[in-house]
Structure 1
Amino acid sequence: MSFTLAIVGRPNVGKSTLFNRLVGKRLALVDDQPGVTRDLREGEARLGDLRFTVIDTAGLEEATDDSLQGRMRRLTERAVDMADICLFMLDARVGVTPSDEVFADILRKRAKYVILAANKAEGRAGEAGALEAYALGLGEPLRLSAEHGEGMGDLLHVLMPLAEEFADQAEQHQPETDISVDEDWDGEEELPIRWPTIDKPMQIAVVGRPNAGKSTLINKILGEDRLLTGPEAGITRDAISLTIDWNGLPVRMWDTAGMRKRAKVQEKLEKLSVSDGLRAVKFAEVVVVLLDAAIPFEQQDLRIADLAEREGRAVVVAVNKWDIEDEKQEKLRALKEAFERLLPQLRGAPLVTVSAKTGKGLDRLQAAIERAYETWNRRIPTAALNRWLVGMLEQHPPPAPQGKRIKLRYMTQAKTRPPGFVVMCSHPDKIPDSYSRYLVNGLRQDFDMPGTPIRLYMRGQGNKNPYKGRREKNAGALTKHLNKKPKGR
């Protein structure tokens, strides 16, 4: 998805009808009665060649208290803050109301991009209301009919350049991943790792549940209160990136909205969409999963860490609010045991205790991030890999399913960021997952690659070994060169 579009406006102007048309399904309830939508609803929209995320919101109410209407308004304001583009919808048959003018002022201050749309503009009944919309100062209004599908081409025309702009931004921030390795390289030493520079800083996403202390942690690293913090959960509403020099290490750090399970709108902790946080994980090279020491490793923490591993990012787990923990040693042992048990796919990943409030442990966090980044970029010589593979086969040979003996002929590293290895073998489809895990765990331990995602691919190639005969061929060429008679004799 290239960008997020939030549809906002007064109740009963046709927001849910347009949402259903963009997603191509009747996902949102539609009725003539105002205020049917009370919740945020996300969908995958399709308009021409564009693919994007669309959010249907509750109608903007003027209430600001803790009533249901007040809570619905705050939830809609969240959607405005986290969306890339806001589509502000009016009812062209009613015209511009005082409420529309209030909400237009809010959007001018809070929204990044605003598209003004006059809905129900089919026929002559909506002409006057569409003309009135110019007075809001939000540009030329699009004349739409969400119910009949009119004006969709005009909407596509307006969205297209914005989509290209967001695509360019995404390409600039997108880190280099799955970099191919020259398989002909057979050196005995590892190649030096390319470290971040001012032009290409290390990209770090700080993710976790709401109120874990993500913004406080980044403020402490910055040395100033750049990000809004407070005791309330869910203050941060969208992914914010800051480029800083962290004790000589150039980094672009992403502060993200708290990721948690869907909550009811009536609860005090209003639910947040996690789409921006997920996008930040994809932009990152190192993901810091920040836990609350009081309630570590809840289900959502595990999902966030697993997402980072599946995306192939280096992972560091940081336990915040350590300064208020009483039984530190006992708690640390319990944390490490729970980490190994609940996240075996990240076995050995750094687990660091910090206090975002006091700044204690930030030096250990930086060292852990640098170590994780180095491991994520590591490249192992083919010769060393094949010597290691022989030892692993002698220690524990592969099984022989249905009496078919599996031969693992040779191994090479195909990619870095994260490390990816290819094992050429017979019957690759017969190798059980348990044996692949045995090899991955061995790679982690013997080549000092704790915690980083490791990709292992089994590939069949018959009896062909591209490395077989290479030395004999080189030796033959040398002998031929030495036996060659000099010219003129």
Structure 2
Amino acid sequence: FRIVDTAGMRRRGAVESVLERASVEGSLRAIRHSHVVLLLIDAQEGLTSQDIRLGNLAIEQGRPVILVVNKWDLISAEQKSAVRSDVARRADESLGAARGAALFHLSAIDRSSVATKFGALARSISEVHARWSRTHQTSHLSQWLRDFAARQPPPALTGGPAPKLQMMTQSRTRPPTFMVFGTWETTAAYTRALTNRLRSDLDLPGVPVRVRFRGPTRSRPGHTR
């Protein structure tokens, strides 16, 4: 595979020169044309709001994300565990559509460590790309849907019966997108719960998963398509 090293991006309001603006646009274009995005995080700063914005931009483009904490040698041994835990926690909270993303830490000074870690990172890139590209059988997905609905029935919408979820199929890959057919669309909260469980059960950590509901053409209050 080919790795594109983009320029560092500051907050939009801090971008000053024409050259820097062009560099930022090039980086954003690289995200849109990528297959896997490595989100580089400064170990001394942790996961910043700008990192989160860029990660969510990658997710909006349907790209899987891997977290890479750089400058690992610049923090103390006592800080390392806290930084690792904090980055993982904040990523799961703020980059929910790519929950469970792989996390690596690198130090450019320790060249032997870079070589070892890069091998593991390359394997992780290949694995997440394969998951992002994988197709799942309709029969398996529909059985999964029935099991999920039995454990966690969809809520009844205002003025009507509880929706019945009948079948699920995968409509596309890259990112994996699933279509749920039922008697009615369901709520946004239920869609999030279903999507998170689906990502976990299909082993898609760090991969944006999209779920669409298709019911009758009539709309109901509080529904999501």
Counterparts of 2:197 and 2:94, CA distance in 1: 20
1:401 partner SS: coil
* Aligned equivalent of 1:36: none
* Aligned equivalent of 1:317: 67
Determine which of 7, 13, 17 is the counterpart of 1:257: 7
Q: Deviations over 1:92-149 (max 9, x none)?
A: xxxxxxxxxxxxxxxxxxxxxxxxxxxxxxxxxxxxxxxxxxxxxxxxxxxxxxxxxx
Q: Deviations over 1:33-84 (max 9, x none)?
A: xxxxxxxxxxxxxxxxxxxxxxxxxxxxxxxxxxxxxxxxxxxxxxxxxxxx
After TM superposition, what 4+ stretches of structure 1 lie above 3 angstroms from structure 2?
none
Query: Is contact 1:407-1:426 (8 Å) kept?
Result: yes
User: Residue 354 of structure 1: CA displacement?
Assistant: 1.5
User: Residue 264 of structure 1: CA displacement?
Assistant: 7.0
Determine which of 258, 262, 283 is the counterpart of 2:33: 283
Determine which of 330, 340, 349 is the counterpart of 2:101: 349
Counterparts of 1:309 and 1:399, CA distance in 2: 28
Determine which of 163, 168, 171 is the counterpart of 1:411: 168
Percent identity, aligned pairs only, is: 37
* Aligned equivalent of 2:212: 457
Give the structure with the larger helix fraction. Answer: 2
Query: Is contact 1:263-1:271 (8 Å) kept?
Result: no
Q: Deviations over 1:146-175 (max 9, x none)?
A: xxxxxxxxxxxxxxxxxxxxxxxxxxxxxx
Report the number of matched residues: 207
Residue segments in structure 1 that go unaligned for 5+ positions in a row:
1-250, 463-489
User: Residue 421 of structure 1: CA displacement?
Assistant: 0.4
Query: Is contact 1:291-1:301 (8 Å) kept?
Result: yes
Establish whether residue 393 from structure 1 lines up as the match of residue 162 from structure 2: no
Output the amino acid matched with 2:14.
A
Counterparts of 1:300 and 1:455, CA distance in 2: 24
Output the amino acid matched with 2:38.
V
Establish whether residue 332 from structure 1 lines up as the match of residue 88 from structure 2: no
Output the amino acid matched with 1:433.
A
Determine which of 278, 284, 296 is the counterpart of 2:46: 296
Q: How does 1:33-72 map to 2 (within 5 A)?
A: none
Residue segments in structure 2 that go unaligned for 5+ positions in a row:
218-225
Aligned CA distance change for structure 1 residues 319 and 271 (closer, same or farther; 3 Å): farther
Counterparts of 2:60 and 2:15, CA distance in 1: 29
* Aligned equivalent of 2:198: 443
User: Residue 342 of structure 1: CA displacement?
Assistant: 2.3
The TM-score normalised by the length of structure 1 is 0.41
2:8 partner SS: coil
* Aligned equivalent of 2:223: none
User: Residue 270 of structure 1: CA displacement?
Assistant: 9.3
User: Residue 427 of structure 1: CA displacement?
Assistant: 2.2
Query: Is contact 1:264-1:271 (8 Å) kept?
Result: no
Give the greater-gyration-radius structure (CA).
Answer: 1
Counterparts of 2:171 and 2:32, CA distance in 1: 21
1:252 partner SS: coil
Q: How does 1:191-230 map to 2 (within 5 A)?
A: none
Establish whether residue 384 from structure 1 lines up as the match of residue 136 from structure 2: no
Counterparts of 2:83 and 2:18, CA distance in 1: 31
Q: Deviations over 1:8-27 (max 9, x none)?
A: xxxxxxxxxxxxxxxxxxxx
* Aligned equivalent of 1:424: 181
* Aligned equivalent of 1:40: none
* Aligned equivalent of 2:189: 434
Counterparts of 2:204 and 2:137, CA distance in 1: 14
User: Residue 271 of structure 1: CA displacement?
Assistant: 7.8
Query: Is contact 2:170-2:176 (8 Å) kept?
Result: yes
> Which structure exhibits the higher relative contact order, with contacts defined as CA atoms closer than 8 Å and separated by 6 or more residues?
2
Give the structure with the larger strand fraction. Answer: 1
